[in-house]
Amino acid sequence: MLAFLRMLVGCFVTALAIVGVVAGVGYWTYRDVNDPGPLQMAQTVVIPPHTGISGITDLLADDGVIRHKLPFKVAAEIAGRVGGLKAGEYEFPAGASAVEVIEIIASGKTVKHRLTIPEGLTSPEIVALIDAAPLLTGDAGATPPEGSLLPETYVYSRDDTRQSIIARMQQASQETLAAAWAERRGDLPLTSPQEALTLASLVEKEASRNEERAHIAAVFLNRLRLGMKLQSDPTVRFVLGGNGASKFEGPLTHADLEVNSPYNTYAAKGLPPGPICNPGKAALLDALHPEQSDDLYFVADGNGGHVFAKTLADHNHNVVTYLHGATAAEAEPAPANPPQTAGNQQHCRVSPGHPCVLR
């Protein structure tokens, strides 16, 4: 009987010891996965596709995100997250616990990157920016039509495809154009959203100050109503640059203005066949909500802005004053029958005696 009691006591003590060990291990595991982790500063980790729990654990341990591998695996199993840990690029804050790390990965909230597309770039220039983004994957494919990409800042994740970014830009452009066209002013001499996009591209390239876009749009629209040629330098530069394939630098010459192209608004009346760049939303809205103005001309004022005029005589006076550096009193009288340009082109430095073809 005494031996039996001793055996019972021994079993009980052993059981208590086992329970104590299990409880201790459990408590240690609980503290290990819930206490602040070892990171002293935020750390980014890339988890490749098809990486299992063991591979993820190894990556996190190697990068110092977690202290111990086994407690992390146990916590993921208990939380039911093993099958829900997603590939991607994740940023873990300093001191993140193992439980917090599991939740971050399971959430799929990957690090977001930004690609800013400035207004007024051509489609080849935009594709070049997309190609240069190092975290995107794949080929961009064929260059999209001019004007079909909306300049904006786009948020993306590592390993998103270049074609997906272009598709988003095209979708954004279509939606923005449709919304702007639906709210356009009713008296515009424009027959389609595409014409509005084309006009906006001219406004985008001509305007150097945001507050002048609506005024410049009014000048072009007034000239369209009167059947005047738009005579916009950026259209010629677009042609000379291979229809947007490259950027034409330097001043334009008289010969340049005679280049044979439907995009040359010095030779052809009306709007060009299509956009000459990818205008931003603001330029599109200003093209469809122009300033109320009777002006038909504008010339660069030398300070980044423009001076506008209703008559050719006033415009020629402004050209001499602002482009030749003359004062109003020194300005020469305008030629009797000068070409009627709209804007402030610089090409006539080759023929300073004819300021009317400057803008």
Beta strands in the chain (DSSP E): 43-47, 88-92, 112-116, 153-157, 297-300, 306-309
Report if residue 162 sits inside a domain: yes
Query: What integer pLDDT is reported at residue 321 of this predicted model?
Result: 87
Q: Following DSSP, what letter does each residue of 109-133 receive, concatenated?
A: -PPEEEEE--TT--HHHHHHHHHH-
Sequence-distant (6+) residues with CB within 8 A of 109 are 90
Query: What integer pLDDT is reported at residue 346 of this predicted model?
Result: 39
Residues 92 and 168 in one domain: no
Q: Given a cut of 80, is residue 14 above it in pLDDT?
A: no
Residues 142 and 190 in one domain: no
Residues 145 and 63 in one domain: no
Query: How many domains does the chain fold into?
Result: 3
Report if residue 28 sits inside a domain: no
Q: State the Cα–Cα distance between residues 117 and 129, nearest whole angstrom.
A: 8
- Per-residue tokens: 20: 């104590």
Q: Which of 164, 179, 194 is the last residue of a domain?
A: 179
What digits encode the pLDDT tens for the residues 137-172? Answer: 999 999 999 999 999 999 999 999 999 999 999 999
Residues 145 and 60 in one domain: no
Closest Cα to residue 100, out of 114, 115, 90, 113? 90
Beta strands in 107-207 (DSSP E): 112-116, 153-157
**Partners of residue 114 on adjacent β-strands:** 155
What digits encode the pLDDT tens for the residues 267-310? Answer: 999 999 999 999 999 999 999 999 999 999 998 888 889 999 99
As a whole number, the mean pLDDT across the chain is 86
User: What is the three-class DSSP state of 335?
Assistant: coil
Closest Cα to residue 236, out of 258, 269, 217? 258
Residues 84 and 125 in one domain: no
Report if residue 16 sits inside a domain: no
Report if residue 224 sits inside a domain: yes
Report if residue 132 sits inside a domain: yes
Residues 215 and 349 in one domain: yes
Residues 234 and 299 in one domain: yes
Residues 145 and 221 in one domain: no
**Chain CA centroid to CA 292, Å:** 31
Which single residue is written with the structure tokens 């998103």? 160
Angle at 56 between CA 113 and CA 156, to 5 degrees: 15
Instruction: Output the domain CATH number for residue 54.
Output: 3.30.1490.480
Q: State the Cα–Cα distance between residues 279 and 38, nearest whole angstrom.
A: 49
Q: Which of 110, 127, 143 is the last residue of a domain?
A: 110
Residue scoring higher pLDDT (133 or 340): 133
User: What is the three-class DSSP state of 231?
Assistant: coil
Which single residue is written with the structure tokens 């980014």? 44
Query: What integer pLDDT is reported at residue 247 of this predicted model?
Result: 87
Query: What integer pLDDT is reported at residue 328 of this predicted model?
Result: 41
Residues 215 and 291 in one domain: yes
- Report the percentage of the chain scoring pLDDT > 90: 71
Query: What integer pLDDT is reported at residue 278 of this predicted model?
Result: 98
What digits encode the pLDDT tens for the residues 32-56? Answer: 889 999 999 999 999 999 999 999 9
Contact at 8 Å (CB) between 218 and 295?
yes
Q: Tell me, what DSSP letter sits at residue 305?
A: S
Residues 257 and 339 in one domain: yes
Q: Which range of residues forms the domain containing residue 174?
A: 112-179
Among 13-17, 126-130, 257-261, 328-332, top mean pLDDT goes to 126-130
Query: What integer pLDDT is reported at residue 26 of this predicted model?
Result: 60
Q: Given a cut of 80, is residue 342 above it in pLDDT?
A: no
Give the least confident one: 20-24, 64-68, 117-121, 345-349.
345-349
Residues 231 and 317 in one domain: yes
Q: What is the pTM of this model?
A: 0.81
Q: State the Cα–Cα distance between residues 162 and 33, nearest whole angstrom.
A: 39
Residues 80 and 205 in one domain: no
Q: Which of 61, 85, 110 is the last residue of a domain?
A: 110
